[in-house]
Structure 1
């Protein structure tokens, strides 16, 4: 059986209410004992009362003293004692019940005010939790900025803000490094490719050298695609500098037309349903997002398979394809950089393993999300992109 899990607010409320009830019960017991000790003792008060009455009568009527018999005096003492005992019991009973009712009402009010006080005391923690939930690697600019007295909660909030400042600087430095390194590598790769092409243009080059040159060009092109992907990834991770209206259906139609040759060579049929859809964002990044999804759907497919692209509904973009079966637990890893599903994907050296990583980064830069799930019996994937 799973143990009951109570919130901190509930625990604080129980602590406040329980403390009040314990103190209230202690005060009730003390008050009861004080009142009980203050009220006259039944036997002694009755004896004193009847004795005083007899003495007063003897002084007033000396001849009637012998008329007061011991039995009559005992009866009078009993009656007085009974009356006093009833009075004492009634007072104590009334005091007890009224005190218990007052304690119950005060306890309920204590629980209510304890709940409100706990909520007020925990408000800074809720602010910290809310800020932490909204944080992402691409959005580290949120801060708590807690106002109030310089107490432990404010110290915690300030410490959390300082940690976020350091994380933001670290991530921004990492992104700049990736972007700068990728940019700097483009020039030497372009130079290498030019030198290889010039060497292969010589008609006297041997077949061995030509084969080596073709392999070097192939490797160079793959490196260029990987660096280009890193640049796009770094750009999308840093967010959008500006936004403009983009017709997502028109961008997708252009991408599908450009990918028709690739689909024919792979023996894959591309189908689409493009309803008008305008989003606010960067047209270049959005085109790259659609391109990566369409190219991935064609590349990781089978002969005679199909790709279906849907624009305009909810989500904004959905791409389905046939292909190898994808395990459910392996889907999240496909959105990580340089991760592929299996040896089939690993052996495909045409891609750098950044396609879906770029898709997710661009979607997040536009205030959206990108997710996937297995395609079912037909295999492949169903990738859905929601844009803000």
Structure 2
């Protein structure tokens, strides 16, 4: 628009100057002895024509230089003004990129005179307030409902266990009690998983430096018994790794991964757990083949691709969804890939703690045999 208007202005100026220049023939007056006498003296047409051409060419050259300099200044000023005007829009875009279901506390809170952009920012903030209230209400409902269901289920399990402990000769009654007890345990596991999922979705209450390798070591010690009874062997390689977070949730994350690796395996299989290196945590296992297109579904709640190792299907489908939620609460991510020959390889990436540089150099690496080696 600037170039177009400047071009029109220069064209009008050019026409006006050309019209004001002397014509090719001029008249002159000269006074004689007997009085004034009009004398017409023709001026050379070539000289006038050259003069007009020189003036117009000079006008075009100077106008072009002026237009170029003014265009550069206009571009610079326009870029500065546009950047200042679009700064609120960039702030809103950056806030929208940072938002997620676990991070709805971000607001723009734009300062300045009331205009269309401040109205848009205020509308955006009010929309975030409504979304945050809706998510908080949903999480409170899940947590409260799960908590209220635990007490009657615990009482029901006690009654079933008492009935099983009595001497009865009716095998159908004992079979029914066994089924009720298994169903009760499954429901309790589901409720416990929902509580952990609601808690991790709500975010971290406290953050402190946690040794992820020590958390993994305690989980491995607790899982060696179930792994041995299933005929599995756990291999571990634990390098000191310090992350900021909540120890209870991180322990649940590692435990869910190891428990899944044991549950969805085959007799004589292997489980690998590694802490440190390029990623915070990596858990792999042998087992049935997992389709590549189904790996993303593993982290959705209540999704199970197949039953457990014993075919009982005692899982509730919340294990890996809890892992993904806890990783997200710690500003991390989780990804799963099928292994060649069957099984799964799950990688959890967590940001290192700012205190990681204070780890003592003597903190070595623990292997599956319990020996220590320098990292």
The interval holding the TM-score normalised by the smaller chain is 0.7 to 0.9
Aligned ranges 1:302-317 → 2 under 5 Å: 302-317=266-281
The answer for the alignment partner of 1:13 in structure 2 is none
TM-score (norm 2): 0.87
The answer for the alignment partner of 1:383 in structure 2 is 346
2:4 pairs with 1:30: no
2:42 pairs with 1:77: yes
> Match for 1:156 among 120, 128, 133?
120
User: d(CA) in 2 for partners of 1:319 and 1:378?
Assistant: 16
The worse-fitting range, judged by mean Cα deviation, of 324-333 and 179-188 is 324-333
> Match for 2:291 among 310, 317, 327?
327
Aligned ranges 1:198-347 → 2 under 5 Å: 198-204=162-168, 206-342=170-306
The answer for the alignment partner of 1:115 in structure 2 is 79
- 3-state SS of paired residue (1:280): strand
Shift of 1:319: 0.8
RMSD: 2.3
Instruction: Indicate conservation of the 8 Å contact 2:263/2:308, yes or no.
Output: no
Map Cα deviations across residues 128-177 of structure 1 (whole Å, 9 max, x no partner).
11101111111100001111221111111111111100000000110110
Instruction: Indicate conservation of the 8 Å contact 1:366/1:387, yes or no.
Output: yes
Instruction: Indicate conservation of the 8 Å contact 1:259/1:295, yes or no.
Output: yes
How many residues are aligned here?
Answer: 351
- Name structure 1 gaps, 5 residues minimum: 1-18
The answer for the alignment partner of 2:161 in structure 1 is 197
User: d(CA) in 2 for partners of 1:260 and 1:142?
Assistant: 43
- Name structure 2 gaps, 5 residues minimum: 352-375
Shift of 1:329: 2.8
2:115 pairs with 1:133: no
Shift of 1:101: 1.7
Shift of 1:342: 4.5
User: d(CA) in 2 for partners of 1:202 and 1:301?
Assistant: 36
Shift of 1:339: 1.4
2:328 pairs with 1:359: no
The answer for the alignment partner of 2:146 in structure 1 is 182
Larger radius of gyration: 1
User: d(CA) in 2 for partners of 1:39 and 1:160?
Assistant: 63
- 3-state SS of paired residue (2:243): strand
The worse-fitting range, judged by mean Cα deviation, of 92-101 and 246-255 is 246-255
The answer for the alignment partner of 1:3 in structure 2 is none
User: d(CA) in 2 for partners of 1:371 and 1:58?
Assistant: 113
The answer for the alignment partner of 1:6 in structure 2 is none
2:134 pairs with 1:170: yes
Shift of 1:348: 4.9
TM-score (norm 1): 0.85
Instruction: Indicate conservation of the 8 Å contact 2:211/2:242, yes or no.
Output: yes
Larger helix share, 1 or 2: 1
